[in-house]
Structure 1
């Protein structure tokens, strides 16, 4: 509650209707603030049904405030569809600055912040999760993900397999009483959380790939051997080495197949 701004309180007090993820959570906040405004649920399960009513209220000149249970609306929630609907109807929209776990985690991570990419939640299934990570492996930016505490260990293990020993940070319960940030390389963090899932909301921040000089053929082979020795599959090793060196993934994978399937050259 301490993260709320004066301006946010003013907007909530003046709103004709407050759209929120959970009316119980927002109702508790409103009570603590001494405010009494009408609440209506707006979340991923009812957004399609609820949106027309909100648009109708806005067209009638009402002021509607959209809030999330925690953090900033539109970050990994359905709020952006409401904004798109407002834009399509030429309805004025404004946004208030406020708490964001993603940005707070980036600030606390100690990792480069001049360029970053927010990947939201990774897929729950391992195969899809690794594919998503392979698609991001060569992005020259710090990567950020939200993750469920129960999947954190598996996700970190997949990140280590695909992205290698990059520096990373795991931040949880940000700006709350039990805030914690763990830093280390992906392998170390994967080991830390393998059998000890944390409590609370989690953000994972991963350093960008190293900017290195072009690798020689022998160096490519050495990198591939090391990745496989560390537990990566041939396909994941190729994706990792391609991301580290900037070589086309297809070429590195072809070399890896020759190296491991057809024998040493």
Structure 2
């Protein structure tokens, strides 16, 4: 417990020194997001609950916290939020189909050994649960990409107010291309780091490459990474187009854009 307190204190001090007020809000948002995730999981445990609807509600709240609570309400956070929700809806439909087709829902052979003494007949749709898990694993990266695109686009528009919608859209795509590779690699290495113990276990048990690739646990995580990458790729053109449309529309109406 003391280690957790010290680490949290060090993180808080660094975030305050580097981020100022935004750093304080970012630190507070960590605990709020944890509470939202916990509540979402608790409600999902009910057989009457729809995990997809709960995931949409949870992602909406998390997006509001990450965008509006940390960066306040302005043009860049508004367009980033709209882009995030559109991407999440598209991903939910796509991931639900992929999960049902690939049959990655439920527990793998390594996990079921620890749960064999419990009853698995809990009345929960594991296809929807698997889809929810993938979306929850992706929401942070999607909101991060969205604000990373809309923020510099807003600055570009502020310095070049006469820029055309097409040029602004293409600039957003250019920004997205620069961060697409690093973000997808971050997702990949997060998987490798989280499942390094499992990979070492595979090696010690002399699993072949075919056994590893066909393992349910391994495949489920790979699909999660690929779906997260798809979400990251989708948010780039969506956020670029929506932000360009919003900024140029405000300019044509003669309204001042709050950046």
User: TM-score when scaled to structure 2?
Assistant: 0.25
> Rg larger in 1 or in 2?
1
**Which one has a larger percent strand, Structure 1 or Structure 2?**
1
Higher helix share: 2
